[in-house]
Structure 1
Amino acid sequence: MRVLRLLSAAVFGLAMVMPAFASVDSRVLMLDDIRTQQHEIRIGVEERSGPYKDLSATERSELLTKQDRMLRTIEGKKSTDELNDQQKTEVFNTLEWIEAVVNNSDEDERMVCERRAILGSTRKERVCKTQSQWREEREAARNLMDSRGNCQDCRSN
Structure 2
Amino acid sequence: MRKFVLTLILAAACTGAVAAPERTPFDAQAVITQQQQIRADIEAKRGAYGKLDIATRQEVRERQDQLLKLLDGRSYEQLSGEEQDQARLNMAWIEYAGKQDDDRLVCERIRTTGSNRVERVCKTVAQRRAEKEANKNNADQMLQGRSASPCGPEGCR
Higher helix content, 1 or 2? 1
TM-score (normalizing by structure 1): 0.48
TM-score (normalizing by structure 2): 0.48
Higher-Rg member (1/2):
2
